[in-house]
Amino acid sequence: MLAEISRGERIVGGNNSKFGSWPWQVSVRRTSFFGFSSTHRCGGALLNELWVITAGHCVEDLLVSQIRMRMGEFDFSSVQEPYPFVERGVNKKIVHPKYNFFTYEYDLALVRLEEPITFQPNIAPICLPAMDESLIGQNGTVTGWGRLSEGGTLPSMLQQVTVPIVSNDKCKDMFLKAGRHEYIPDIFMCAGFEEGGRDSCQGDSGGPLQIRGRDGKYFLGGIISWGIGCAEANLPGVCTRISKFTSWILENVT
């Protein structure tokens, strides 16, 4: 049986993060039918006081009125946190014009908050990467509220896991070892262990793969896009490579 492709959603082997460690992490949410509540759908990352970046597949099928963004969230089950989360409606979404539902190329979207957010210790933006920095061999951290195992339970606390970034050729080879021919163009970036065990999973997609730069600040290396199963050997997680889209992002959010 073919492994399920977790394309419509998408941390295994990680651990609970600490409150405020990843202040740009966003919960991309869908409103209920009557709009009284919202449920977590995907991750996202805060770029500035007005814009969130996420995966195209996370919002492409939703009306702007159905999308809500929650910033500063940590534990879905707790109402007593050091600083509260802030939830906002949105008034604009820009799915990348070349987004391809079948290949998951250009799987990016920018979403504008209805009103600007005020930064606080648990709400702050992430930096963008240099235009074309090679990240092969570096470690990235993936964060999200996705499933803890394939088809498994959802955590209430934001999870984190560190994964190595592999070259696209190595990525193709890994998939081949697992018996799959996958198309991995330059705009994709793969991260994961040959032996598996640590990965993003359903519910994480749209969220950030963040890398600590030489200056000690984190920048956005990738946006989690798709994977086959979760944390299986030779099936790395695949992100949209943000360095290929820095200029597109800046054109739209500044």
Q: Each residue of 56-75: pLDDT tens digit? A: 999 999 999 999 999 999 99
| Catalytically annotated residue among 38, 107, 199, 200 | 107
Q: What is the mean pLDDT of residues 196-207?
A: 86
* 107 tagged catalytic: yes
Which CATH number is 126-243's, of 3.40.228.10, 2.40.10.10, 3.40.50.300, 1.10.10.970? Answer: 2.40.10.10
Give the pLDDT confidence score for residue 4 in this predicted structure.
Answer: 40
Task: Enter the CATH code of domain 25-125.
Answer: 2.40.10.10
Buried b (16+ CB within 10 A) or exposed e, 132-166: eeebeeeebbbbbbbbbebeeeebebbbbbebbbb
What phi, psi does 176 have (nearest 5°)? -60, -40
Distance of CA 52 to the CA centre of its chain: 11
- The tokens for 3 are 């492994």
pLDDT, tens only, 78-98: 888 999 999 999 999 999 999
- pLDDT exceeds 80 at position 131: no
Both tokens of 175, joined, read: 């998939």
Question: Of 117-121, 162-166, 229-233, which range is least confident?
Answer: 229-233
| Contact indicator for 198, 112 with CB cutoff of 8 Å | no
Active-site residue (options: 57, 200, 225, 243): 57
Task: Determine which one of 17, 27, 38, 205 is catalytic.
Answer: 205
Closest CA to 218 of 126, 138, 142, 135: 126
CA distances from 187 to 35, 41, 112, 232 (A): 36, 24, 24, 23
- pLDDT classification of 2: cutoffs 50, 70, 90: very low
Rounded Cα distance, 58 and 238, in Å: 15
Counts of helices then strands in the chain (DSSP H, E): 3, 13
pTM comes to 0.93
Considering the chain, tell me which residue range(s) the CATH 2.40.10.10 domain(s) occupy: 25-125, 126-243
- Tell me whether residue 181 is one of the annotated catalytic residues: no
Q: What confidence tier does 198 reach under pLDDT thresholds 50, 70, 90?
A: confident
Side-chain half-sphere CA neighbours of 187 within 13 A: 14
Is 32 marked active-site? no
CA 240 to chain centre: 9
Q: How many residues does the chain have?
A: 254
The predicted pLDDT at position 7 comes to: 40
SS3 7: coil
